[in-house]
A and B are shown apart, each in its own frame.
Chain A
Amino acid sequence: MATELEQAGFTNRSEEELGGRWGMVVDQDLCTGCQACVAACSMENNVPFVGEEDAGYGRAMHWIRIERLWESTEYPEVKMTPFQPTMCQQCHNAPCEPVCPVYASVHSDSQDLNLQVYNRCIGTRYCGNNCPYQVRAFNWYDYTDARIRPELTTLQNQLNPDVTVRRRGIMEKCTFCIQRIHKAEDKAKSEGREVEDGEFTTACAQACPASAITFGRIDDPKSEVSRAATSSRGKHLLEELGTLPRVTYLAGGA
């Protein structure tokens, strides 16, 4: 019973005690909303651009989007909420996982990450529907097919060979740059050691000019990310759902 309660959020225990391996911390007090992370993510993960009409209809495929709402829209007391980069929260109890009929979104034991197996996906879109954070992007068309979009013929030179290019009818999402995780893990393995904190980082964290994004091992209490995650400013998105996200947000303000 105790653990259920804790998982439901009645806990003062830090993330690493509740498990998890890779984690991310986003400092909303630092995020300037500059979109560098979005660009970096898209370049690293071969995220296609969808064009004006589709983007306006809500089909932009950003794996990470910077949200901003209004606390008050009454001039002059206008107040904007702090920029909130929203990417897959890599929930431990991910609502998107059990609803997939073909195990396309499964949980990785070893990394405690929320995997999306592209070639298994048949496009029921239940996961996207069930994701409380609405961070899953669906390939509504063959956005990456140069036969359909000739403008891609040259641009495709830039595709990252470590990341699959997704075809139509497939759900995709932020993977915590799992290709980088694997690279680092393989390297560490070949050298017979554990992956060190800061040995590598995700594309978004790497680019962020304000260093608002920190990525690393949350099971290592000494790592930068776990120290940040246990900060008093830390909170999770929709904590009340008990999804145990692996992304911690540091509230803005003093």
Chain B
Amino acid sequence: MSEKISRRDFLKLASVGAATTAVLTGCGPASRYVVREPYTKMPEYTYNGLSTYYATTCRECAAACGLVIRTMQGRAIKAEGNASNPVNLGKTCARGQATLHGLYNPDRITEPYKGIRGQPLGRESGSVLDWDAAIQVVADALKNNNPSEVAFLMGMAPDHLFDLVSDLTAAIGAPAPVRFGALGMFESRATLSKAAENLLGQPAMPFFDIANADVVLSFGANFLETWLSPVAYTRGFAKMRRGNPKRRGYFIQFESRLSQTAAKADEWIPIHPGTDGLVALAIGKLVAEAKGGVTPRAFASVNVADVVTKSGVALETLESIVHHVVEAESPVAIPGGTALGQSNGLSTAEAVLAFNALVDNFGKPGGVSLSPLSPNQNVYHRPASAQEMTDFIAKMKSGGIKVLFVHGVNPVFELPKSLGFAEALSSVPQVISFATFPDETALASDYIFPDHHGLESWGYQRSVTGTQQSVLSGAQPVVSPSYNTNSTVDVLLRAAQLAGGKFAEALPYADEVAFIQSKLTNLIGETDGSFVAPEINTFAAYFQQHGGWWKNAAELPTPSAASALGQGVTVEEAEFAGEGEFFFVPFVSPTLAEAGANKPWLQELPDPTTTVLWNTWVEMNPETGKELGIENDDVVKIVSEAGEVEAPVYLYPAIRPDVIAMPFGQGHTAYGRFAQGRGANPADVLGLHFNEAGDLAFAGMRVKVEKTGRKQVLSRLEGKLGVYGFIEEK
């Protein structure tokens, strides 16, 4: 990049853009090479009392929502949604709002460190490195190892870093980078895309257009909480409910506990775990019969009476649902979450998709279709399933991996303990983490070369699903980095140059921006997008200004219903691992998700259904509690075949008496003062059982519950006296 775009040129472009879009974006700190200057020398785009707004992408989850950050005098003040980004249309979730608590978190990693693996960080421990040395380390790690023994483990977000690493590994013949995230695991993404591949012909994330549906059957899909793209789906839900003045969409949730999503359903059906697929088939069969004509093969085999007994859903209920479906113009069924996290998850997903085929909503408004590919993407790619992680870990243990780069993921915390990732790490000679926060994995590696926080760094991110448009969401620094951190992309680029040879050839980029722009070139001149630009500089400027580039029109590859209905779907009974009187249902905490625990305001947010703050709880039906003599705030030990975990009980009226549930997101042993030693992690008790698609059957376990005799009062936002009554037995 010889001719560097100066800030002045940029502002010209910006002003042009400003006329066309509401987002006022200077490219302040974004002026390529970030310098920190005293406020006495304030850059001309910051005036006292005036805010500057920067469009960027939210990195709190992989949904790629667009953000506009309000900054004032070099400080990020408020995160607001980017109104023009099709994924979230100006809306944000709680985690997006709290992203600033990540940026200004007191526990950020401030410098590159070496040789930790356990011992504490800090200058006094003499473990601080300078960046040249750090980059040398990376270069050596790349050069001195057999490429096949170099591994990259990355977060779920399909971003520019992932592209860069893919290029690198492809060029040097190293195994492709592995993407993983606990969210993906609890969403059973692999199962979904496998089912899509089997029935719809493409391994894409199916897109469920609930916005235009009038009856929604959700089989354990928590699309209002964390599932796939919560903001987008919440918007869809709102449209479904009140978008059409003539009719109010009807929403039925099948789930063994009343989740936040189920709480919004018109009908919540506490279904026996693992029978979602059967119920879907049964409903399908009844619908087919109600519609008359021949019942498609997919539903032929199922025996309704049998389903009724197995699922515990009364026949009348089924019939009323069928009635709703038959009456509806555009019904849609969504498989997800706990329904797929079963031994029979894949067939369940297929059954539900087949149901959609039956009601013939493929590619129609309010129906199912495939999520579009992102602008600069040509093949669907999904994060690794738990099965694949197991293989990966096996490879680590067998010493097949000499150097492991970890970025954007915290497998030690996110993977079930039983997978033994922590142990596997010890058998990897060199582990290099690019973590921004001192999470469990980072502290267990040899080096931490901290990346900028998302709001301090460049980038782009593909939107995998959640919108009908093809979206590439752009990111730019909104503040200059607070600490001595460095962009991982830059680190890899410079390391590659240092390593020279094929490495240098693989990554011939001057810096991160150059690399990003190289990935955007294929969009120059595209006329059907959010903006048109003649050449890369203008395009890059607009790209930052708009917060990305996206197609204007919806484009959804339509699968064929015939193939879906043609093949027989049989949902065999789910097997439950281990013994014990309870089915164990872990779910992702709606407010914390997998990485929110270190943000104090997310901790302070109450769980929507139980209103518990700052802690982990075990949901148990009061009746069950009475039988076992367990009261609120009694600490119980949950014992599974794989392990045990302790947490206080919340007697939750809206959960099946034979089910206990536990939120995922707390129980950190590191990860900063707000997260460390707080709550418990249900992943500790998850056993290694997979469904046909290789996803973890996390909801397919039986567990025992033991009283510990201890009490730990849960902090609740609700007043127990008012919500659950105050009459004392005396």
> Chain A interface (Cβ within 8 Å of chain B)?
27, 29-30, 32-36, 38-40, 42-44, 49-53, 55-58, 60, 62, 65-70, 73-76, 78, 80, 83, 150-161, 203, 206-212, 254
Contact = CB atoms under 8 A, between A and B. Distances in A.
B226 to A, nearest CB: 10
Contacts of A27: 242
Contacts of A52: 603, 613-615, 678, 715
B600 A36 contact: no
B224 A75 contact: no
B238 A80 contact: no
A205 to B, nearest CB: 10
Interface of B: 49, 72, 75-81, 88, 90-98, 100-101, 103-106, 108, 224-225, 230-231, 234-235, 237-238, 241-242, 248, 258, 260-261, 263-264, 268, 270, 482, 590-591, 600-606, 608-609, 611, 613-615, 621-623, 653-657, 673-674, 678, 713-719, 722-724
Given A60-B717, A211-B235, A68 B611 contact: yes
B653 A70 contact: yes
Nearest to B651: A73
A73 B716 CA distance: 18
A39 B601 contact: yes
Contacts of A153: 106
Contacts of A207: 80-81, 91-92, 97
B591 A35 contact: yes
Nearest to A29: B241
A49 B654 contact: no
Contact of A78 (B258, B615, B715): B258
Contacts of B715: 52-53, 55-57
A62 B603 CA distance: 13
A134 to B, nearest CB: 10
B78 A35 contact: no
A121 B47 CA distance: 33
Contact of B101 (A67, A155, A208): A155
B230 A55 contact: no
B235 A56 contact: no
Contacts of A40: 92, 97
Contact of A49 (B81, B95, B241, B603): B603
A248 to B, nearest CB: 15
B92 A75 contact: no
A158 to B, nearest CB: 5
Return the 10 tightest CB-CB contacts between A and B, nearest first.
A56-B715, A52-B614, A39-B97, A33-B608, A73-B653, A209-B234, A49-B604, A210-B238, A39-B94, A78-B654
A254 B241 CA distance: 9
Contacts of A34: 93-94, 224-225, 230, 234, 260, 590, 608
Given A43-B97, A83-B608, A78 B653 contact: yes
B91 A209 contact: yes
A137 B21 CA distance: 39
Nearest to B88: A209
Contacts of A157: 75-76, 104, 482
Contacts of A80: 258, 263, 609, 654
Contacts of A150: 106
Contact of B238 (A35, A38, A50, A211): A211
Nearest to A40: B97
Contact of A158 (B104, B224, B605): B104
Nearest to B100: A158
Given A36-B94, A38-B94, A50-B604, 11 more contacts: A34-B260, A36-B97, A56-B714, A60-B717, A66-B606, A66-B608, A70-B723, A75-B656, A207-B80, A207-B81, A208-B91
A43 B608 contact: no
B602 A151 contact: no
Contact of B260 (A33, A42, A70, A78): A33
A153 B248 CA distance: 48
B77 A161 contact: yes
A39 B613 contact: no
B656 to A, nearest CB: 8
A55 B653 contact: no
A29 B242 contact: yes
B464 to A, nearest CB: 18
Contacts of B482: 154, 157
Contacts of A69: 722-723
B75 A211 contact: no
Given A52-B614, A55-B613, A155-B104, A75 B604 contact: no
Contacts of B77: 158-161
A209 B654 contact: no
Nearest to B722: A69
A158 B258 contact: no
Nearest to B93: A36
Contacts of B242: 27, 29-30
Contacts of B722: 69
A42 B77 CA distance: 12
Best-surrounded residue of A34, A161, A254 (most CB of chain B within 10 A): A34
Contacts of B724: 70, 73
Contacts of A30: 237-238, 241-242
Contacts of A70: 653, 723-724
Best-surrounded residue of B103, B600, B724 (most CB of chain A within 10 A): B600
14 contacts: A27-B242, A32-B237, A44-B78, A49-B600, A55-B604, A56-B715, A58-B719, A73-B653, A73-B654, A158-B76, A158-B104, A207-B97, A210-B234, A210-B237
B591 A154 contact: no
Contacts of B601: 39, 42-43, 49
A39 B605 contact: yes
